[in-house]
Amino acid sequence: MPFPLQRSSRFLVTGGCGAIGSRLIRRLLADGAERVVAVDDLSSGYEWLLPADPRIEFIQADVCGLLDQGPLLETPTVFHLAAFFANQNSVDYPLADLHTNARGTLTALLWAKANRARRLVYASAGCSIAGHGVDAPVREDMPVSLDLDTPYQITKALGEFYCNYFNREVSTVRCRFFNSYGPGEAPGYYRNVIPNFIWRALHDRPLVITGTGDETRDFIFVEDLVDGLARAADRPAAGGEAFNLGTGIETRIGDLAEWVIGACRSASGIEYAPRRKWDHSVHRRANVDKSREILGLEARTGVTEGIGRTIEWFLEHKEQIERLAAARAVAV
């Protein structure tokens, strides 16, 4: 490790206006951060998610421009969350995915090196390493598969290779996100299933399941995931390592839809559509032994509680979300 790992008071958060980035920034401020620079091109994030705090500096920019127009920070901690999200989007726009997820990650690492960053925490993906058809709990030590299903998975894996390469000069930690959800994520064609289910349920529209409903995923509430990121930044033993940020619990998508309908007191029904061509994983969950042992991470928010808190956020920000839906012709 090139520099002593001390608790930082200066932070750079790429993708800082996203659901995860904005919640992470709130956590850093609550923990006493002196300065937080949020970089976001606002392609899928929203500046209004940032809290009003003079310690925040917002830079609207493509992450690939960090070296030319990025801030100067002395030995900061970097959270690299900016991404071209997610699988279907990358299938439709693979060159844009390559630009943000590959070149953007390399640029963030070069910026971290130039600014003598104490650590860079990289947002990887639970689907980026093991490949398709793995029904067993996904472990960090599984070999990297060459049978990946989407450009997003490929570029997220590439980012991990770059992190390992730069770890000689910048302490890096690779956090593999499983299905994050919670306040801050608006609905949309390329967004996750939970905000889309909630938006449709609040409008009494059918909830569309791509598959049979028996598929399962590991859903982690955004504040639990943010806790994992903060721990990854501070634990000396985390340097150079990869960690699954999940719960270790599978949730059936059909049950998820029923819970959302009930919590929204909705008249929505459920419709089924063919599974997407690239989606070969029927079941996916994280093995969280390593993150529990080294990071001390325990996901404390159950899915039903998390859904309730997410619905509350939707209702509190109904006008903003409706404007976004109208502007982007959301028909999820």
Beta 119-125 vs 77-80: how paired, if at all? Answer: parallel
Hey, which residues are catalytic here?
Answer: 152
Which of these, 86, 126, 83, 138, lies nearest to 108 by C-alpha position?
A: 83
End-to-end C-alpha distance for the chain, whole angstroms? 46
Please state the length of the chain: 332
Cα separation, 111 vs 90, whole angstroms: 25
Cα separation, 88 vs 141, whole angstroms: 27
User: Phi then psi for 127, rounded to 5 degrees?
Assistant: -90, 5
Cα separation, 68 vs 41, whole angstroms: 15
Cβ neighbors of 32 (< 8 A, separation 6 or more) are 9
Look at the block and give the residue holding tokens 């003079």: 54
